[in-house]
Chain A
Amino acid sequence: MRLPAVIALALVAPIAAATVGILSVVAGERVGAAPFAGLVPRNSAEAAGLGRAAELLRFLEDGQDPHAVYPVRPEILSSAILRATTVEAAMWSRQVEMIKLLEREGAIDGNEEREALACLAADVKIDDVVEHLAPEGVSGCEPGQALARVAARTSSAGRER
């Protein structure tokens, strides 16, 4: 083979491979598959944990209960937290806007839940969320307790299994 032809091939091969990859994504998505897809949330807790506000709203619109405990895959929050409510999971998105959104959607009921969530935010070390939920500061929190309570659901679920 002549050198110019070989170089032309070399110039095209990586781009052709990229094009094939892109076309496979397009074709896959057109037929309902999802090649090279990242994490797609399966419930409102996963959407909140991933910081996907639009998907979270869709789950809530579809009737998911923000107070219910949902299973969460280990790569979303942590391998130690596999069951969480939507607001609890939202802490791991580290977005105060997400907490405010859930508040607007009626996902935070009363002072008691607010304080408990502020303690969880303090354990997860998200200062702006702590400040938002407890502007006067958190007082009744035992450090690590709120996080341990959420994690306990995972271990109890494991024991039941």
Chain B
Amino acid sequence: MTQLNAAVTPPARIDARARCLSYAYAVTVGLALGHFLLGLPIQLTDSFGNMLKLSGSWSELLYGEFTQNAYLRPLLWANLKLVYDLSGGDYFTWFRGVHVAQVLVLVVLYVALVRPRTMLDAAVLPFGLAVLFGMHTFAGTIREAFPINTHMTILILCLAAAIVALGRYRWWNDVIAMLLFVAASLTVETGLLIWVIFVGAALVGARGVSRAGLAGLAVLLAGYFYIRFALFDVGSPGLVERSSGFGFGVLDPDDLVARFGDNPTWFYLYNVVTSAVSVLLSEPTAGVFRVTSAVVERDVDIAMILNLIATASVTVVIGVFAWRRRQAWRLRRFDRDDRLVALFAMILAANASISYPYTKDVIMSPAGAFFAVAAFVALRNLLPALPDRLPPRTAAMAVAAALVVSGTWAVRVIGTHLNLRTGAYVERNEWVYAESSLAEEGVVLTDSDSRLMRELRDDAIFVHPPPPPLEPPLRGLLGSE
């Protein structure tokens, strides 16, 4: 027990080769994902409508965003408008290029946050990045764009915030912290997690931001709620905003109102709990117990089981890490790795709480990204703590278990890439039928709207044709669309 409760492996001297290898690997897999992202056109769904809105003036756009109902996201639109104006009409290059750049920034920040120090760390890094890319919560940050993926923006800001919060104090950290909070919170609601990251890090002993900086963040948080609820009366999303998963299916807004309209407390509680469990087990997803339903109906897909094994095994690894460190934590002795795992727990709780109005996997993407951070940290600490030798049978089982867990994440990462390739076809097919589907929905376009639609449609179909479809061996295992 003494050994089990011993302090986390003392920080090794930083091996420059390990650090270089880690960054090189991260950028390589980021570029590979970027290649697949460039196979996607600008989408019809979620992007075309937004782009029509961007053709207006800055003042109209921002005024409208501060005075609308349910959502306060002015910087989301400012970000879109900026790239729209800069593009000069070359929308594909700019918007798809921004998405690729976002992925590259994300992987670099991931490595900067977990700080691989040794060659063993560098060896474990691919596993951490596989968890980052393979999580079901990550899929929505790459498969969709609006035409910039806001959730990806928040992931980047969250990782940047954690780096500042856990870093050495410098006077400008306070300013950066406040800028990050303002940028994130006015982009999308999950941006409020930036506040949780700074305060949470301080609670576990990190001193990257001063007390004055934390006080400033508290004032900004209060200011956010004042602007949202008192000044502009934006409010928060109600049951009628969108469909949401519940139990074994998805309920439409009308069903939600009929079922929970009088007292939505239980529904909100369901959303919070299932959102948190979703990150830890990949079941339920988006509020729907798909695997459970499949088990009940005896229609279990192997991909479902692989997902469950993958996520649950990482949760167990993180749990074991926390268990080994429990005495130190009780004594409030935290090192950087402890803080990273504690941050994951705090972000998971806060992220799930923010998800109370409705469940959607991508909303939990910050918790999913910190799950990948915690996975890496837990593994790099647990591996050196294993005994050098075990009885052959036990050792063989341990190696087999490692192979199975890693195999499940390999499958998920391939699935992530395959889904992007499938999306390349799905999105282009949508453009083919754009005119008829908009007409069926009763959407009337002005001449300039129609011009933009034809431009984007031609760009998706003729200028940037889809890359080849992929049919890798064992596709059935990969669980792609």
Contacts and interface: CB of A to CB of B under 8 A. Distances in A.
Interface residues of A, number: 44
B123 interface: yes
A57 B435 CA distance: 14
Given A2-B388, A13-B403, A38-B469, A22 B395 contact: no
Contacts of B70: none
Given A11-B406, A12-B127, 16 more contacts: A2-B388, A2-B389, A3-B388, A6-B399, A8-B124, A11-B379, A15-B126, A15-B406, A15-B409, A18-B130, A30-B35, A53-B433, A54-B432, A54-B466, A55-B466, A58-B461
Nearest to A6: B399
Nearest to A40: B468
A46 B130 CA distance: 36
A159 B123 CA distance: 61
A31 interface: no
A10 B399 contact: yes
A54 B428 CA distance: 6
Contact of A19 (B126, B383, B411, B432): B126
A66 to B, nearest CB: 15
Contacts of A2: 388-389
Nearest to A30: B35
A37 B471 contact: yes
Contacts of A5: 120
Contact of B410 (A4, A14, A25, A55): A14
Interface in B92-126: 120, 123-124, 126
Interface of B: 28-29, 31-32, 35-36, 120, 123-124, 126-127, 130, 379, 383-384, 386-390, 395, 398-400, 402-403, 405-407, 409-411, 413-414, 417, 425, 428-429, 431-433, 436, 460-462, 465-473
Taking each of A3, A6, A17, A55, which has the highest tally of chain B beta carbons within 10 Å of its own beta carbon?
A3
A54 B126 CA distance: 36
A25 B32 CA distance: 9
A23 B407 CA distance: 17
Contacts of A58: 461-462, 465
A19 B33 CA distance: 10
Contact of B127 (A15, A21, A26, A54): A15
Taking each of A11, A34, A36, A101, which has the highest tally of chain B beta carbons within 10 Å of its own beta carbon?
A11
A131 interface: no
A69 B470 CA distance: 28
Contacts of B428: 53-54
Given A6-B399, A38-B468, A12 B124 contact: yes
A38 B470 contact: yes
A19 B325 CA distance: 33
B425 A52 contact: yes
B432 A3 contact: no
A14 B468 contact: no
Contacts of B130: 15, 18
Given A38-B468, A40-B469, A4 B429 contact: no
